[in-house]
Amino acid sequence: MKFLENLGFGLRSYLAGLGLGARLFVRLVLLGRVTMRRFSLVRDQIHFLGNYSLAIIAVSGLFVGFVLSLQGYYTLQRYGSADALGLLVALSLVRELGPVVSALLFAGRAGTSLTAEIGLMKAGEQLSAMDMMAVDPIKRILAPRFWAGVITLPLLSAVFSAVGVVGGWMVGVLLIGVDEGSFWSQMQGGVDVWSDVGNGVIKSVVFGITVTFVALLQGYEAQPTPEGVSRATTRTVVVASLAVLALDFVLTAMMFSI
Amino acid sequence: MTSRYFPPTANSALVELRDVRFGYGERVILDGITLTVPRGKVTALMGASGGGKTTVLRLIGGQYRAQAGQVLFDDQEVGAMQAGDLYAVRRRMGMLFQFGALFTDLSVFDNVAFPLREHTELSESMIRDIVLMKLQAVGLRGARNLMPSEVSGGMARRVALARAIALDPELVMYDEPFAGLDPISLGTAARLIRQLNDSLGLTSIVVSHDLDETFHIADQVIVLANGKIAAQGTPDDVRSSRDPLVRQFVTAAPDGPVQFHYPGASVEDDFGVEARP
């Protein structure tokens, strides 16, 4: 009997959590227009989140570009297609690695920071104080951060891909000696703005929504204790990373089928 | 500044709780309490920890909804309000949280300016003047540029008080404003509450455990115990109460109706010794 009670309680808590998350998501989306009217709040958060992640995104992009170029050359030269190295590096970055790796890094760097910030505001009764001042914390605190995250991640993905391409060029052309003209011309000819870059942008927007929402939800729902905030921060990384990888599969499958 | 004028026809109570019940799960926090908070007075809510004092404040502010009974603010039922009406009522209230709840990313000045910027269309120069006046009232005009991490606990609560009165509310609720303060800060905070109440014509509700300071500044004291009102009246009435629980509270006796030892196995059982004859 106790087991059934616990099962029922667990199920009800889970469903309540889902419902709360869904309501919060709908509110954040509906608050988009109101939030953009006070763009200074969003701008400050874009600056904050972007600054947090720019260095790690740029450095990671560079190293991923290095490795892609080395691995790509190793495979392509077997088939006498080393000239296509630029195309391989660019397509890999723009379609896949740029959005996915940026989202994973964003979750670890900016996402955890968002969760901790919101969780600590909750623990310090700042959100309650705001609510008692007749200021809606979802509108004033969460919505600007949500929309800032949605805007920031595609920009960071673009930086990641661009730096990655430069990294690929440094290893492929400068280090290995692939022909520079072939490297750039194959890339220029083979990468389609709409189907390749466009798909990457769509992915990074979806990942931006996912990661930022997960981070905000975890912070907003965190137990207002040091342990609760610490757990929420960990959950942000785990849930957001798994969601990004699962969504990447779904989106890629959809994009190939179109 | 002149005191607010209360017309004689107006209900003399700004806040009323009528037969309010509230609890978490099976645990009852408030068991049908009825109380009134008169306009222009300082009302102290006292009682043991976990007795429901802060819950009363949150019910009045509409952050919690009563499970039964009515919570009235200026004759309007707070529990029945939609979000818009609730926010309109909250603009007439200020609340001082236990540790100030200052926004840690904003300076002292910006913390006090926050409600003005959110709720009014005043120019920055006007906001500056109002903020400096409020900070002057709590003695912290010179600390306007400090960050919350740079001020002491007592100062943080004074900043929070300036923020709570920024919009000239009718009711200010203080949640344990004296907790953790040194004697000087404690005396300053108590005097400020009384002075601001009288000079701004406020109505104040103070949740506190500090008997001396609270009895000194309060017009009315309400003692909560076991979800009910154990005593209600002037500080002198409560001090002279014969109720054993109120006596224990007022004299700070370790044992009485509220027991020192948490219920459990006997000492003899735990230590495996025979009880003395």
Domain boundaries, chain B: 41-62+78-244
The residue type of B116 is L
Identify the H or E element spanning B63.
Answer: none
Interface check for A30 against chain B (CB to CB < 8 A): the answer is no
ipTM over cut 0.85? no
Contact (CB, 8 A) for A244 and A153: no
Q: How do residues B225-266 score in pLDDT, each as one tens digit? A: 888 888 888 988 888 888 888 888 888 777 777 777 777 888
Given a cut of 90, whether residue B188 has pLDDT beyond it is no
Residue B32 is encoded by which pair of tokens?
Answer: 């049908």
- Rounded Cα distance, B171 and B93, in Å: 5
pLDDT digit string (tens) for chain A, length 258 residues: 788 888 998 899 889 989 999 999 999 999 999 999 999 999 999 999 988 789 999 999 999 999 999 999 999 999 988 889 999 999 999 999 999 999 999 999 999 999 999 999 999 999 999 999 999 999 999 999 999 999 999 999 999 999 999 999 999 999 999 999 999 999 999 998 888 999 999 999 999 999 999 999 999 999 999 999 999 999 999 999 999 999 999 999 988 876
Q: Quick one: pLDDT at residue B3?
A: 47
- Does any CB of chain B come closer than 8 Å to the CB of residue A126? yes
Report pLDDT for B1.
Answer: 41
Q: Which two tokens stand for residue B23?
A: 């609890």
Which chain B residues touch A113 with a CB distance below 8 Å? Answer: none
CATH architecture of the domain B41-62+78-244 equals 3-Layer(aba) Sandwich (3.40)
Q: Which residues contact B121 (CB under 8 A, 6 or more apart)?
A: none
Q: How confident is the model at residue B2 (pLDDT cuts 50, 70, 90)?
A: very low
Average pLDDT, chain B: 86
Q: Is the distance from CB of B95 to CB of B152 less than 8 angstroms?
A: no
Please identify which residue in the block is written with the tokens 């009764």.
Answer: A125
Confidence tier at B7 by pLDDT (50, 70, 90): low
Q: Which residues pair with B109 in a beta bridge?
A: none
pLDDT tens sequence across B84-109? 899 999 999 999 988 889 999 999 99
Across the interface, of A129, A134, A140, the residue whose CB is closest to B101 is A129
Give percent above pLDDT 70 in chain B.
Answer: 95
Shortest Cα–Cα distance, A157 to chain B (Å): 28
Which of B55, B112, B118 to probe the A interface (max A CBs under 10 A)?
B118
